[in-house]
Chains A and B, each alone.
Chain A
Amino acid sequence: MDNNSKLTNLHMDAIREVGNIGTGNAATALSRLLGRTVDMDVPVAEFVPIYDVAAHYGSPETYVCAVLVRTEEEFSCSLIFMIEEEKAAILADLIIPMDISGMDEETRLQIRDSALSEQGNIILGAFLNALSQITGWVLPTTTPAVARDMLGSIMDLVASMFGVIGESAMLVKTSLHIKGLDDELGGTVIMIPDPGSLEALLSKLGVL
Chain B
Amino acid sequence: MTQPIHVGMADLVVSKHPATLVTLGLGSCIGLVIYDQASKTAGMVHIMLPDSREAKNLPKPGKFADTAVPLLLEELAKLGVNKSQLRAKMAGGAQMFSMPGKADSAIFGVGSRNVEATTKLLAASGIRLVASDTGGSKGRSVEFSTETMKFIVKTLGTGTKEL
Interface residues of A (CB under 8 A from B): 2, 50-51, 54, 60-61, 63, 66, 68, 70, 78, 142-143, 145-147, 149-157, 159-161, 163-167
Comparing B33-41, B116-124, B133-141, the segment that makes contact with chain A is B133-141
Residues of B within 8 A of A151 (CB): 25
Residues of B within 8 A of A163 (CB): 48-49, 63
A198 to B109, CA, bound (A): 23
Residues of A within 8 A of B139 (CB): 149-150, 152-154, 156
A51 to B156, CA, bound (A): 22
Confirm or deny: B73 has a beta carbon within 8 angstroms of a beta carbon on chain A.
Answer: no
Q: Which residue of A lies closest to B137 (CB)?
A: A147
Cβ-defined contact, B99 with A156, below 8 A: no
Comparing B54-62, B80-88, B145-153, the segment that makes contact with chain A is B54-62
A60 to B140, CA, bound (A): 11
Total interface residues in chain B, CB < 8 Å = 34
Cβ-defined contact, B55 with A150, below 8 A: no
A66 to B97, CA, bound (A): 9
Residues of A within 8 A of B60 (CB): 51
A161 to B137, CA, bound (A): 18
Confirm or deny: B29 has a beta carbon within 8 angstroms of a beta carbon on chain A.
Answer: yes
Cβ-defined contact, A160 with B110, below 8 A: yes
Residues of A within 8 A of B26 (CB): 152-153, 156
Q: Which of B56, B99, B106 is A143 in contact with, Cβ under 8 Å?
A: B99
Give the A-B contact count at a CB cut-off of 8 A.
Answer: 97
Cβ-defined contact, B110 with A149, below 8 A: no
A157 to B98, CA, bound (A): 12
Cβ-defined contact, B97 with A153, below 8 A: no
Residues of B within 8 A of A165 (CB): 54-56
Cβ-defined contact, B102 with A153, below 8 A: no
Cβ-defined contact, A149 with B96, below 8 A: yes
Q: Which of A54, A60, A164 is B54 in contact with, Cβ under 8 Å?
A: A164
- 18 example contacts (A-B, Cβ-Cβ < 8 A) are as follows A54-B25, A61-B25, A66-B97, A78-B107, A143-B100, A145-B97, A145-B99, A149-B139, A152-B24, A152-B25, A152-B139, A153-B96, A154-B96, A156-B28, A156-B96, A157-B28, A164-B106, A166-B56
A50-B9, A153-B140 given. 7 additional CB < 8 A pairs? A68-B99, A143-B100, A145-B99, A150-B25, A153-B96, A154-B96, A156-B139
Cβ-defined contact, B156 with A149, below 8 A: yes
Cβ-defined contact, A51 with B8, below 8 A: yes
A164 to B99, CA, bound (A): 21
A63 to B139, CA, bound (A): 10
Residues of A within 8 A of B141 (CB): 60-61, 150
Q: How far is the CB of A6 from chain B (nearest CB, A)?
A: 14
